[in-house]
């Protein structure tokens, strides 16, 4: 006889063997006992939690020769045919491959006929959310008022895709993830029946990796048994699943705890040489710190899985971190996991993230204050002093508005040295905001707004209506902008239009400077007649709404990666 996979061999055959779904089995058993059998059921929940198995148990309970009964015998002809999938009264339909309206029309025609052998015709529709809209509509009437001898049982992992009109015609049962303890106990029963020696730690690791699915757990156990033959150890399980292992995690956390960058980098090199997947490494590290986070918040809680840690080890490691540090580190680990997906050099992304975890004090403080931290290699104190002196000299020139030769920027004195001269040259346009807004300046700005309105620059007006005119100096006119995208739009899209309008009105040759202001004053009432009824910029103004859906999706991905700093083609000339 051909080998049968464990998840098939150990599929529950009655309500008593259904693991982790007591609320479902108890309700269905009471319904059968009281004779309140519904005509349509909807089973929803994660994969591998017993939805299809429960549907078959219910079909046997209804058609067993001893029934209807909550304990189908599994010995009579009806039970054996259902177990083997050969029953003429129980139909298993895969909605993923039979999802069209023609398939449902055939079903509607067949439900009219009486059962061949049993009491009920049972239709089990798996992955029902895959049905098309037309197929759902064709099923509605039959599902609402089926013949007395028909029972529909629908199963899905994505109940939100099932039409509300379908859900309202069914009794819904939500299957929950099976706990680690329940899976662990089931695995112990399986290995005992197979006369296989297995370490409890190995079985618990399989239960954790199954993520609430009994079918996944039995499939993993099947693989591990094939590798380990008659003895199942934690090392074999880690080898098969590609896990980094508890010992490596403990060493890495110790290095992070002591901020030992050398040890952390050595551990990364070791795991890469072992051929482990870096995404898996970060996932396990995140789960490890999750256990520490829960312990710091609530201590040892019964029923909560702390991943691979033992109680003594949890207490020891948790003592080396604050709760704020652990939460921040988990966030950074998750960010690194996303970076690894797209990075051409995943190793660099992982190493950079772990080194940041070693420097968490400085980075957390900087993040709280909104500062940017720049890492420096150690240099001599005298060198630092020289650089500070040169920087102070340049800042003094900029503050005094010293013009540069051939431009509006600051210049450096001849004795400032090449480094200072280069720094000063970069400052092409020093920031020199007028202290007071003069009446003349405001009058010029009002004329500029009028000029924009007359020339039909409505989108420019819509963009600057929430800005405030702050004044002018010898080379610039300054606009205060709110924090956000407005400043970028003005600088990248509308700078040329605004400068041309202002210089045309004023007869000057000034450039626009935008400065973000925390609280931008309300727009001047005098400008109301110019700015009212100006529509805000929309996707149409940037040509985005004209794109095909596929092109829009590519644009969204590009914005996620590179930012939304759009540049007009004329700026590239």
Residue in 5, 9, 445, 4 with CA at minimum distance from that of residue 223 = 5
Structure tokens at 560: 């996620």
Question: Quick one: pLDDT at residue 265?
Answer: 92
CA distance 554 to 395: 44
Q: Cα–Cα distance between 145 and 165 in angstroms, integer?
A: 13
Give the integer Cα–Cα distance in Å for 120 and 60: 10
Domain boundary among 224, 241, 258: 241
Q: Same domain for 285 and 324?
A: yes
By C-alpha distance, which of 203, 177, 101, 111 is closest to 150? Answer: 111
Q: Which residues of 167-196 are buried (b: 16+ CB within 10 A; e: fewer)?
A: eebbbebebebbebebbbebbeebbeeeeb
State the Cα–Cα distance between residues 493 and 565, nearest whole angstrom: 10
Residues 41 and 149 in one domain: yes
42 and 107 co-located in one domain: yes
Q: In terms of domains, do 114 and 66 share one?
A: yes
Cis peptide before 68 (omega within 30 of 0): yes
Of 268, 262, 208, 206, the residue nearest 234 (C-alpha): 206
The answer as to whether 560 is a domain residue is no
If asked whether residues 316 and 408 sit together in one domain, one would say no
Neighbouring residues of 228: CB distance < 8 A, sequence distance ≥ 6: 236
Say what the pLDDT of residue 531 is.
41
Scanning 69-179, the segments in alpha helix (DSSP H) are 77-84, 101-110, 133-144, 164-167
pLDDT on residue 42? 94
Last residue of a domain, one of 215, 241, 267: 241
For the chain, how are helix, strand and coil distributed in percent, rounded to 5? 55, 10, 35
266/219 same-domain check: no
The H or E element that residue 33 is part of is: helix 22-34
The span from the first CA to the last CA of the chain, in angstroms, equals 76
Predicted local confidence at residue 475, as pLDDT: 80
Q: List the CATH number of the domain containing 482.
A: 3.30.300.180
**DSSP letters spanning 539-553:** GGGGT-TTS-HHHHH
* Token output for 41: 């059921």
What one-character DSSP code corresponds to residue 521?
A: P
565 is a domain residue: no
CATH of the domain at 159: 3.40.50.300
Same domain for 330 and 259: yes
Mark out the alpha helices in 145-277 (DSSP H runs). 164-167, 180-193, 200-209, 214-228, 234-241, 246-257, 261-273
Do residue 165 and residue 188 come from a single domain? no
The verdict on 34 and 165 lying in the same domain is: yes
Structural domain includes residue 562: no
Choose the final residue of a domain: 174, 196, 212: 174
Question: Structural domain tally of the chain?
Answer: 5
Q: Supply the CATH number for residue 227's domain.
A: 1.10.8.60
Task: Please check whether residues 18 and 161 belong to one and the same domain.
Answer: yes
Residues 145, 184 share a domain: no
Is the separation of the CB atoms in 278 and 354 below 8 Å?
no
Strands 468-472 and 231-232: unpaired
User: Does any domain span residue 388?
Assistant: no
Whether 23 contacts 172, CB under 8 Å = no
Beta strands (DSSP E) in 457-520 are: 468-472, 476-481, 511-516
Residues 197 and 215 occupy one common structural domain: yes
Contacts of 539 (CB under 8 A, 6+ apart): 545
Q: CA-to-CA distance for 558 and 539, rounded, in angstroms?
A: 16
| 3-class SS of residue 553 | helix
Torsion of CA 77, 78, 80, 82, to 10 degrees: 160
Exposure on the CB side of residue 464, measured as CA atoms within 13 A: 32
386 to 212, 225, 376: CA distances (angstroms): 62, 68, 16
Q: Which residue has the tokens 């973000």?
A: 516
Task: State the pLDDT at residue 114.
Answer: 86
364 falls within a domain: yes
Tens-digit pLDDT string for the chain (573 aa): 577 888 888 888 888 888 889 999 999 999 999 888 999 999 999 988 999 999 999 999 999 988 788 888 888 888 989 888 888 889 998 888 877 888 888 888 888 888 888 889 999 999 999 988 888 888 888 888 888 889 999 999 999 999 999 999 999 999 999 988 899 999 999 999 888 888 888 898 888 888 889 999 999 998 888 877 678 888 888 888 878 777 888 888 889 988 999 999 998 998 888 888 888 889 888 888 888 888 888 877 776 666 656 677 788 888 888 899 999 999 999 999 999 888 888 899 999 999 999 988 878 777 776 655 544 444 444 555 556 556 666 655 555 554 433 344 444 444 444 444 443 443 434 444 444 455 567 888 888 888 888 888 888 888 887 788 888 877 888 888 887 777 877 887 888 889 888 888 888 888 888 888 766 544 444 443 434 444 545 555 455 555 566 666 666 666 555 555 555 554 444
Is residue 14 domain-resident? yes
The C-alpha atoms of residue 5 and residue 102 are separated, in whole angstroms, by: 34
Strand duo 511-516 + 476-481: pairing: parallel
Residue 47, domain member (yes or no): yes
CATH of residue 315's domain is 1.20.272.10
Residue 292 lies inside a defined structural domain of this protein = yes
**In angstroms, rounded to a whole number, what is the distance separating the alpha carbons of residues 257 and 266?**
15
For tokens 């240099």, what's the residue? 379
- pLDDT at site 564: 55
pTM of the model: 0.57
* Structure tokens belonging to residue 111: 């439900």
Round to whole Å and give the CA distance between 352 and 334.
13
Domain enclosing residue 312, as ranges: 246-369
């Amino acid at each position: 006889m051909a080998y049968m996979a464990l998840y098939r061999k150990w599929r529950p055959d009655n309500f008593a063997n259904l693991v982790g779904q007591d609320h479902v089995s108890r309700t269905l058993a009471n319904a059968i006992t009281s004779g309140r059998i519904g005509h349509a059921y909807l089973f929803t929940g994660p994969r591998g939690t017993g939805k299809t198995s429960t549907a078959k148990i219910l079909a046997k309970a209804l058609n067993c020769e001893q029934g209807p009964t909550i304990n189908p015998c599994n010995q009579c002809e009806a039970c054996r045919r259902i177990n083997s999938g050969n029953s003429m009264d129980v139909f298993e339909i895969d909605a993923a491959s039979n999802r069209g309206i023609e398939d449902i029309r055939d079903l509607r025609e067949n439900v009219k006929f009486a059962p061949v052998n049993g009491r009920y015709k049972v239709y089990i529709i798996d992955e029902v959310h895959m049905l098309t809209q037309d197929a759902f509509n064709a099923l509605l009437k039959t599902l609402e008022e089926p013949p007395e001898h028909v029972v529909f049982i629908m199963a899905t992992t994505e109940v939100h895709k099932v039409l509300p009109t379908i859900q309202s015609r069914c009794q819904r049962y939500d299957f929950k993830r099976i706990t680690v303890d329940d899976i662990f106990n089931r695995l112990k029963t399986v290995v005992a029946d197979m006369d296989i020696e297995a370490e409890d730690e190995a079985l618990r690791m399989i239960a954790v990796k199954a993520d609430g699915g009994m079918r996944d757990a039995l499939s993993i156990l099947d693989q591990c048994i094939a590798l380990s033959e008659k003895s199942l150890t934690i090392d074999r399980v880690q080898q098969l699943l590609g896990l980094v292992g508890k010992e490596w995690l403990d060493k890495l956390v110790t290095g992070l705890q002591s901020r030992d960058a050398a040890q952390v980098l050595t551990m990364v090199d070791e795991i890469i040489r072992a051929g482990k997947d870096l995404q898996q490494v970060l996932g396990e590290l995140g789960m490890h710190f999750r256990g520490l986070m829960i312990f710091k918040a609530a201590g040892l809680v019964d029923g909560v899985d702390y991943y691979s840690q033992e109680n003594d080890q949890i207490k020891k490691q948790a003592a080396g971190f604050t709760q704020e540090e652990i939460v921040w580190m988990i966030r950074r680990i998750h960010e690194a996991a996303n970076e690894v997906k797209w990075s051409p050099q995943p190793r660099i992304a992982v190493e950079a993230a772990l080194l940041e975890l070693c420097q968490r004090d400085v980075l957390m403080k900087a993040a709280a204050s909104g500062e940017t931290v720049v890492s420096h290699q150690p240099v001599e104190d005298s060198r630092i002093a020289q650089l500070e002196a040169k920087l102070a000299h340049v800042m003094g020139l900029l503050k005094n508005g010293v013009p540069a030769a051939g431009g509006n920027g600051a210049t450096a004195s001849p004795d400032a040295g090449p480094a200072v001269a280069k720094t000063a040259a970069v400052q092409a346009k020093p920031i020199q905001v007028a202290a007071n807004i003069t009446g003349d300046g405001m009058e010029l700005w009002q004329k500029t707004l009028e000029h924009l309105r007359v020339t039909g620059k409505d989108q420019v007006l819509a963009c600057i209506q929430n800005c405030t005119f702050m004044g002018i100096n010898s080379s610039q006119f300054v606009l205060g902008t709110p924090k956000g995208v407005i400043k970028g739009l003005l600088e990248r899209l509308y700078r040329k239009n605004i400068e041309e309008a202002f210089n045309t009105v004023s007869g000057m040759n000034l450039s626009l400077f935008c400065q973000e202001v925390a609280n931008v004053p309300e727009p001047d009432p005098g400008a109301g007649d110019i700015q009212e009824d100006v529509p805000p910029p929309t996707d149409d103004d940037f040509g985005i709404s004209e794109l095909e859906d596929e092109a829009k999706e590519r644009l969204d991905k590009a914005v996620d990666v590179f930012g939304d700093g759009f540049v007009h083609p004329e700026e590239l000339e």
